[in-house]
Amino acid sequence: MFSPKRSLVTGASAGLGVEFARVLAARGSELVLAARRTDRLEELAASLDVKVQVVTIDLSLPEAGRRLFDAAGPVDLLVNNAGFGTHGALVDEAPERLAQEVALNVAAVVDATRAFLPSMIANGFGGIVNLASTAAFQPIPGMAVYGASKAFVLSFTEAMWAEARKHGVKVTALAPGATATEFFDIAGNPPGRQQTPEQVIAVAMRALDRRSTPPHVVSGAGNAFAAWGTRLVPKRLLAPMAGRIVGFRG
């Protein structure tokens, strides 16, 4: 079993981050919980039976990963979970909001990985879980920036998996499909079938527990099949199909 002594979860004030924190605490890991809403982080911290450090931080701001490391110090497990998705045609979205989406979903993941990985390599032990999505496996008209941000996370993480494994550090991308969290409060358009956070985090933990952690894991057999199937669909059909699924009429 993968047993980190100290783990950091970003986006721990809601959804998947809360469940990650609970599961890691149940494994006896000390925690660092990071997000913007301090009250929620403190409430979660009070409910857990392990030592918890709360870090209030806006990860969409420049050099967020380095600042997070300065606040938290080294950890054995980094979960880059904070993220959000915008929904609608690109030209209808405020440019500042799109920039924030890229900064949080992409830049902060790179910056935090760069900041936390060296101490894991030095220890010859550690793990990094980056939140991708089934959105990573095809372009999505109507969620163009979100889909591309998760495609970046998937590609980046799989490269880091190969760079880090010889140092004893497990890196994997977790790709959930639709999951019942607060995500759709922002992204809109919630689909009917959703997994629970418990189901999704169990998949991530099983991946970390494997002797050879895979470069990515998709949560749910149906989601895994759909993600795999995207490679069989001609490109000129794939994007319009994905757009229809998120309710985009091109």
Ligand X SMILES: NC(=O)c1ccc[n+]([C@@H]2O[C@H](COP(=O)([O-])OP(=O)(O)OC[C@H]3O[C@@H](n4cnc5c(N)ncnc54)[C@H](OP(=O)(O)O)[C@@H]3O)[C@@H](O)[C@H]2O)c1
Total of chain residues touching ligand X, rule CB under 6 A = 28
SS3 of residue 85 by DSSP: coil
What is the spatial distance between Cα 10 and Cα 25, in angstroms, rounded to a whole number?
15
Q: Is 190 assigned a catalytic role? A: no
- Residue 147 makes contact with ligand X by CB under 6 A: no
Cα–Cα distances in angstroms (integers) from residue 175 to residues 48, 130, 186, in the given order: 26, 9, 19
Residue nearer to ligand X on the CB measure, 164 or 175: 175
Q: CA angle at residue 86 from 83 to 90, to 5 degrees?
A: 135
Supply 218's token pair: 């998709």
Q: Kindly state whether residue 16 participates in binding ligand X, applying the rule CB under 6 A.
A: yes
Residues 77-136 that bind ligand X (CB under 6 A): 81-85, 104, 131, 133
Cα gap 117→112, rounded to integer Å: 8
Name residues contacting ligand X, limited to 187-246 (CB under 6 A). Answer: none
In the complex with ligand X, which residue's Cβ is closer, 167 or 189? 189
Q: Is 14 in the site for ligand X (CB under 6 A)?
A: yes
Q: State the residues that interact with ligand X by CB under 6 A.
A: 11-17, 35-37, 57-60, 81-85, 104, 131, 133, 176, 178-179, 181-183
Q: Which residues are catalytic?
A: 146
